[in-house]
Amino acid sequence: MAKTAKHRHKNKKYTLPKPGASPGLVYTDEHSLESVIKLHTYHADYYKEEALPDLNNLKEAINDKKYTYWVDIKGFKTVELFERLSVDFNINKLVLEDITMTYQRPKYEEYDGYDFAVSRMLYMDSEQNLINEQLSFILTENVLFTFQDRYEDCLIPIRKRLEIGKGNIRIGGSSYLMYALMDIVVDEYFAILGFWSENLDAIEDRLLDKPDKTIMFDTQTIKRNLITLRRVAWPERDKMNDILRSESELIDVKTKLYLRDAYDHCIQVIDMVESLKEISASIIDMYLSIISNRMNEIMKVLTIISSIFIPLTFIAGIYGMNFSREDPVTGKVLPQNMPELYAAHGYLYTMIGMSIIAVLQVIYFWRKGWFK
Q: Which of residues 226-265 bind its own copies (CB under 8 A)?
A: 227-228, 231, 257-258, 261, 264-265
Name the DSSP letter for residue 168: T
Site for its own copies in 116-135 (CB under 8 A): none
Closest distance to its own copies from the beta carbon of 64 (Å)? 26
- Main-chain dihedrals φ then ψ at residue 36, nearest 5 degrees: -125, 125
Q: Are 182 and 139 in contact (CB under 8 A)?
A: no
- Exposure class string for 281-320: b at 16+ Cβ within 10 A, else e: eebbeebeeeeeeeeeeeebeeebeeebeeebeeeeeeee
Only segment of 35-43, 45-53, 73-81, 97-105 that touches its own copies (CB under 8 A):
97-105
Least distance (Å) between residue 54 CB and its own copies: 26
- Which of 56, 289 has the CB closer to its own copies? 289
Instruction: Restricting to residues 13-32, name those near its own copies by CB under 8 A.
Output: 16-23
CB 203 within 8 A of CB 283: yes
To its own copies, the closest distance from the beta carbon of 295 in angstroms equals 6
Minimum distance of its own copies from residue 291's CB (angstroms): 5
Question: Nearest distance from residue 104's CB to its own copies, in Å?
Answer: 8
Give the H or E element holding residue 114.
Answer: strand 114-124
Give residues 170-229 in contact with its own copies (rule: CB under 8 A). Answer: 183-184, 187-188, 190-191, 194, 197, 201, 204-205, 208-210, 212-213, 216-217, 220, 223-224, 227-228
Q: How near is the Cβ of 34 to its own copies at its closest, in Å?
A: 26
- Looking at the Cβ atoms of 33 and 101, the one nearer to its own copies is 101
Nearer to its own copies, 61 or 124 (CB): 124
CB 94 within 8 A of CB 132: no
Segment contacting its own copies (CB under 8 A): 9-17, 26-34, 37-45, 245-253? 9-17
What secondary structure letter does DSSP report for 105?
A: P
How far, in whole angstroms, is CA 117 from its chain's centroid?
A: 24
Smallest CA-to-CA distance from 28 within 146, 149, 143 is with: 149
192 contacts 122 by C-beta, under 8 angstroms: yes
Interacting residues with its own copies between 287 and 346 (CB under 8 A): 287-296, 298-303, 305-307, 309-314, 316-329, 333-338, 341-342, 344-346
Element (DSSP H or E) covering residue 345: none
Q: Does 158 bind its own copies (CB under 8 A)?
A: yes
Closest to 95 in 3D by CA, of 107, 40, 184 = 107
Asked if 45 interacts with its own copies (CB under 8 A), we say no
355 binds its own copies (CB under 8 A): no
